[in-house]
Amino acid sequence: METTLRGVGVSHGVAIGEVRHMGTAVLEPPAKQIPAEEAEREQGRARQAVEAVAADLNARGNLAGGEAQAVLEAQAMIAQDPELMSDVDRRITVGSTAERAVYDAFSHYRELLAGAGEYMAGRVADLDDVRNRIVARLLGVPMPGVPDSDQPYVLIARDLAPADTALLDPALVLGFVTEEGGPTSHSAILARALGVPAVVALPGAGELVEGTVVAVDGSTGEIFVDPSIEKREQLKAAAAERKAALAAATGPGATSDGHKVPLLANVGGPADVPAAVEAGAEGVGLFRTEFLFLDDSTKAPSEEKQVEAYRKVLEAFPEGRVVVRVLDAGADKPLDFLTPGDEPNPALGVRGLRSLLDHPDVLRTQLTALAKAAEGLPVYLEVMAPMVADRIDAKAFADACREAGLQAKFGAMVEIPSAALRARSILQEVEFLSLGTNDLAQYAFAADRQVGAVSRLQDPWQPALLDLVSLSAEAARAEGKSCGVCGEAASDPLLACVLTGLGVTSLSMGAASIPYVRATLGKYTLAQCERAASAARAADSAEEARKAAQAVLSGE
């Protein structure tokens, strides 16, 4: 009998296939004491396993490229964390085996993060994955992972670690469903990059019986269990219709009455550029530069290395717009040379622009490298700062850009509610705003963007979040300046229409989402988008906002 479940759709498309569960195994090693004379040998085993796992994660990252590479390199850094390794060594010294010491040290750190409610609590799945990989290697057992199947299937998991998600084969994994995670979790971001339909935060997903046929709608978040032949045909027809609409929609982003809305790509480095170009991106709306800095957490990359990487991206968009975000370190992206290691709540501490202003040499080198990378190119370079709180922050960044001789527009990201509330003040110092809706939602609702339990508050359809977007867009319009969205909200085609109606002047997203947004935006006039935006803001919940906007645009 057909039943319908609903989670959070995070990656467009429809997948129909049999359920296969992510492999699981008990990886808790036995607690047994070792003689003191074996401690040194066990410590050596632990170090070898850690280095092997870190090397494997880095190798997977190199294979995957793009955003996945940055995520996996960050995991490799977790594996090699000096404090964790010191704890492992201490536990072995008092009699634990290498595998038990690793298990207990990581578990202790996990409890601290989860119990304190810190921003890093959202990285618990990543921490567990690293721990399991090290323990599995020490025990000599296979690492639980993606099922071994020669037939396509829908993957079901409690959560998916980045190392598993990054190397999924889209030819076999038709789509995936997880019990945990949120719309901005690593798994969601990587699913969109792969173009695999995905639904997260679905309670009870693990109870779906192996071999059951399900239909996954990554746009609506619906899961149809044992769908009827009629439902399958209906979903396939809808998918075919969407595919035809995507193929027919070409050219720059615009509403049906010609209001231009440039569609830009979010990229994590040169590896992401080909997909962006193929999708018809009109430029880059968010160039995350962290990937360069994650190679070595102990020191910043040289100016020469930065120039080389930046120029590869800039050259790909001749006469296009490329918006570069300077290093956004801290919180879930700590760097030994830049971010404090003892903050009680890193998400509310020294991160983003705050870190760079504390280390002006790092900011100066990056800005100088960007200036040199753009020399002689016809590209329209724009550079923005993350985590701007007020006009003082904006002025400090603009002054630094000028001192570095950067010939570009300077902008500020709106990720903190104070920046949206005082956007007009900030625009006295910079030339554009870019809304990072992921962090803006996190700070507006006090809801960690990686925790599935609060995913409803991370829904970008939340009317309060739309209010903050509207405030920013209105301020930019009053100052005659631009206000784009580069957060994950822009990747939702329906929401893209609402954002346009709110006055947003450009939309930036993962390359896979650009065709969907282009096709949907081209179906409606600017006036329709404005009416949909008003209806969404008048609602009292994210679900009501979505339905209200849909009703307006469908003419109901």
CA distances (Å), origin 38, targets 47, 92, 99, 135, 524 = 14, 9, 14, 18, 71
Residue with tokens 């096709």: 519
Residue with tokens 């977790």: 78
Q: Is 497 a catalytic residue?
A: no
Q: In whole angstroms, give the CA distance from residue 346 to residue 326.
A: 19
List 186, 401, 483, 497, catalytic entry:
186
Per DSSP, the three-state class of 224 is strand
Closest CA to 387 of 444, 334, 440: 440
Residues 6+ apart with CB under 8 A from 99: 29, 135, 138, 139
- The amino acid that residue 92 corresponds to is I
Place of tokens 């599995």: 136
Q: Hey, what are 278's tokens?
A: 């193929």
Please list, in sequence order, all residues whose beta carbon lies within 8 angstroms of the beta carbon of residue 158, skipping any fewer than 6 positions away: 22, 178, 179, 180, 205, 206
With CA atoms as reference, report the closest residue to 199 among 178, 214, 172.
178
3-state SS, one letter per residue, for 307-344: HHHHHHHHHCCCCCEEEEECCCCECCECCCCCCCCCCC
Alpha-carbon distance of 450 to 442, in angstroms, equals: 9
- CB 545 within 8 Å of CB 536: yes
Catalytic residue among 401, 483, 486, 529: 486
Chain Cα centroid distance, residue 175: 18
**How many helices, marked H, and strands, marked E, lie in the chain?**
22, 16
Written as one string, the DSSP assignment of 37-96 is GGHHHHHHHHHHHHHHHHHHHHHHHHHH-HHHHHHHHHHHHHHT-HHHHHHHHHHHHTTB
Token pair for residue 277? 């170009």
d(CA 108, CA 114): 10
- 486 in active site: yes
Length of the chain measured in residues:
556
Pairing status of strand 173-178 against strand 3-6: unpaired
Burial class (CB in 10 A: 0-12, 13-18, 19+), 312: middle
Q: Which residues are catalytic?
A: 186, 486
